[in-house]
Amino acid sequence: MAENAEGDLNSNLLHAPYHTGDPQLDTAIGQWLRWDKVSLTALCFTSGLVCFHFPSLGSRWWFSLSPLALEKNPKTKEQIENLLRNGMNKELRDRLCCRMTFGTAGLRSAMGAGFCYINDLTVIQSTQGMYKYLERCFSDFKQRGFVVGYDTRGQVTSSCSSQRLAKLTAAVLLAKDVPVYLFSRYVPTPFVPYAVQELKAVAGVMITASHNRKEDNGYKVYWETGAQITSPHDKEILKCIEECVEPWNGSWNDNLVDTSPLKRDPLQDICRRYMEDLKKICFHRELNSKTTLKFVHTSFHGVGHDYVQLAFQVFGFKPPIPVPEQKDPDPDFSTVKCPNPEEGESVLELSLRLAERENARVVLATDPDADRLAVAELQENGHWKVFTGNELAALFGWWMFDCWKKNKSRNADVKNVYMLATTVSSKILKAIALEEGFHFEETLPGFKWIGCRIKDLLENGKEVLFAFEESIGFLCGTSVLDKDGVSAAVVVAEMAAYLETLNITLKQQLTKVYEKYGYHISKTSYFLCYDPITIKSIFERIRNFDSPKEYPKFCGTFAILHIRDVTTGYDSSQPNKKSVLPVSKNSQMITFTFQNGCVATLRTSGTEPKIKYYAEMCASPEQSDTALLEEELKKLIEALIENFLEPSKNGLIWRSV
């Protein structure tokens, strides 16, 4: 009788070959349904028998262990089976016949079933590939270990959450006898690269999709340096993932997280060390403790609340006032249209209204994984000024250099000092550097490039004060080699408190910076485009604008002085016509330098289905007519959109916020 029952169970769990008419799809379906489950033999039943309890029969039946399989995530299995049952072959092909690749922030995609989505199986596959590559790179991998952190995202329909994916990441490595530093609680993204450096681990992963829509999640990888991985590591890891797609014995066993002596919780130690290191960029603690300024903080339903509160305490401040509806984790981000504070006043509504009631002049908004920061300040006319990332960078650049000058050691040399920005960001730091005598460098978009360059500079004895990307990503100091919204929030608070003693607002100080170093008027926005073919055709048209392999010489009436195409490695401003920045073939990015002094860039997002545009008028200090500069910039952007992007023709969706 037992043998028959075992046979019935097996017949329900094994799947016949599928015939969709597409051999590649048939193979992918079979692989998914075979791998998205756990073999009982993988769960270490050493007796060779397993017991099933049937309450309705009042008995327990024992079965011998021929390879028996149970669905480990029935929700994702059900998603694929429903698509198969309904003959939705195109969606099956979209989900199963391609894989995720590393973008500007690691692997990122929607949560759900399929090899190109974030789910239990693809995280296991990714971690198996990571293990294989790290084992090859580090002979001491099993002594130094690996760091795993996670945010608060989750999706009921696929039984997918950042915490579960972090546990599965840890399980794969623990099953291979690798020590794993798994945070016992959600943490800001910067805690993972910080922990990698502090604990001398070989690498780390943060499970997060940062500020993306609620449906998304991600797998962000940091190397032993504490910086995000770049080439060739990303390509080599992807190769290793392809070689390790079938789950190993033990990879599904997330019980190891609770039972393995190799699992360690670094939360308290890393939090203590991080907060201690924050003191390195605190210059006015006594002043902070006496300020009458009030601050409101929103964590956008993410991880930031507790950590920003602690940071304020370290700097001597009273706690910032939290937005009650947004301070606790909520994977649905239920009070905001999108969980991205960069979208401005419309998504900051609750915090601005709370600030008005509490008589708080400054609002600080960290995104859901607390690696980015938005800032708003109440003006005398009763309106709120929401600073752009470029404007905040002007303030940070001024502040960090001013603090360095006032606190530098006797033998400190300004020629040893550096600030960095991504190439699509404002050139304001370049203007400050030219005037003050320190160095400024640009990198490709993405903080992974900034982090790697900072590491090189530090190893060569240089001092890096500040780095940023225009999408409200800031790094003050070098304790972390990635953008950090927690430290940025408390530095802004100290800056505002200091300026308050001089009766100067943040906006007034920004004007002073521009008056001294030159106005930098910038505008950044985007279009949504869900069709990769359309995106490619837009950029290929620019590369073959007037004739084959000829870039445009004009954009409407605006004459183009130089063009740099990082995708192809072309730069007309260089004698050899080759880009100084590294070639980035996997993304689209073309930069135009106009005769009127404007610099504009068109590029695809590395994390979202967007075509972004960036434009900035860089003026000398003598050019103070901001209205004229803004009008010129407005006209140029209109020409850029009309001539190069052609939204109506290409079906692009305008930014809605």
DSSP letter string, 53-68: EEGGGTEEEEEE-SS-
Model confidence at 623, pLDDT cuts 50, 70, 90, reads confident
**Predicted local distance difference test score (pLDDT) of residue 102:** 80
From the DSSP assignment, how many helices (H) and strands (E) are in the chain? 22, 29
Is 51 a residue whose pLDDT tops 90? no
Average pLDDT over residues 122-139: 97
- Residue, of 542 and 587, whose pLDDT is higher: 542
Nearest to 299 by CA among 330, 275, 270: 330
Is 1 a residue whose pLDDT tops 70? no
pLDDT digit string (tens) for 193-221? Answer: 999 999 999 999 999 999 999 999 999 99
Model confidence at 7, pLDDT cuts 50, 70, 90, reads very low
**Predicted local distance difference test score (pLDDT) of residue 38:** 54
Q: Where are the alpha helices (DSSP H) in 330-446?
A: 349-358, 389-407, 428-436
Model confidence at 73, pLDDT cuts 50, 70, 90, reads confident
**Predicted local distance difference test score (pLDDT) of residue 388:** 96
**Predicted local distance difference test score (pLDDT) of residue 656:** 64
Is 50 a residue whose pLDDT tops 60? no
Active site residues: 210
End-to-end CA distance of the chain: 65
Is 416 a residue whose pLDDT tops 50? yes
Is 49 a residue whose pLDDT tops 60? no
Average pLDDT over residues 566-584: 94
Query: CB within 8 A of 71, min separation 6: which ones?
Result: 13, 36, 37, 77
Burial of 50 (0-12, 13-18, 19+ CB in 10 A): middle
3-class DSSP assignment, residue 155: strand
The percentage of the chain sitting over the pLDDT mark of 70, rounded to a whole number, equals 91
Model confidence at 12, pLDDT cuts 50, 70, 90, reads very low
| Contact (CB, 8 A) for 469 and 450 | yes
Model confidence at 607, pLDDT cuts 50, 70, 90, reads confident
Chain center to CA of 231: 17
Model confidence at 585, pLDDT cuts 50, 70, 90, reads confident
Is 264 a residue whose pLDDT tops 80? yes
pLDDT digit string (tens) for 249-258? Answer: 999 999 999 9
Tell me the β-bridge partners of 148.
182, 205
3-class DSSP assignment, residue 217: strand
pLDDT digit string (tens) for 31-43? Answer: 999 998 754 444 4
Average pLDDT over residues 49-70: 44
In 415-574, at which residue ranges do the beta strands (DSSP E only) sit? 417-422, 439-443, 463-469, 473-476, 520-528, 554-555, 558-565, 570-571
Average pLDDT over residues 485-512: 98
Chain center to CA of 11: 44
Model confidence at 63, pLDDT cuts 50, 70, 90, reads very low
* Cα torsion through 447, 364, 185, 161, rounded to 10: -70
- Residue, of 70 and 555, whose pLDDT is higher: 555
Average pLDDT across the chain, whole number: 91
**Predicted local distance difference test score (pLDDT) of residue 44:** 43
Average pLDDT over residues 539-563: 96
Is 118 a residue whose pLDDT tops 90? yes
Nearest to 405 by CA among 465, 487, 454, 481: 465
Residue that has been written with the tokens 């005398």 in this structure: 380
**Predicted local distance difference test score (pLDDT) of residue 104:** 65
**Predicted local distance difference test score (pLDDT) of residue 10:** 35
pLDDT digit string (tens) for 430-470? Answer: 999 999 999 999 999 989 999 999 999 999 999 999 999 99
Model confidence at 71, pLDDT cuts 50, 70, 90, reads low
pLDDT digit string (tens) for 332-378? Answer: 999 998 999 999 999 999 999 999 999 999 999 999 999 999 999 99
Is 47 a residue whose pLDDT tops 60? no
Q: Of 20-24, 65-69, 151-155, where does the model show the most confidence?
A: 151-155
Nearest to 513 by CA among 431, 574, 578, 450: 431
Average pLDDT over residues 505-534: 96
**Predicted local distance difference test score (pLDDT) of residue 622:** 87
- Residue, of 294 and 657, whose pLDDT is higher: 294
- Residue, of 20 and 458, whose pLDDT is higher: 458
3-class DSSP assignment, residue 240: helix
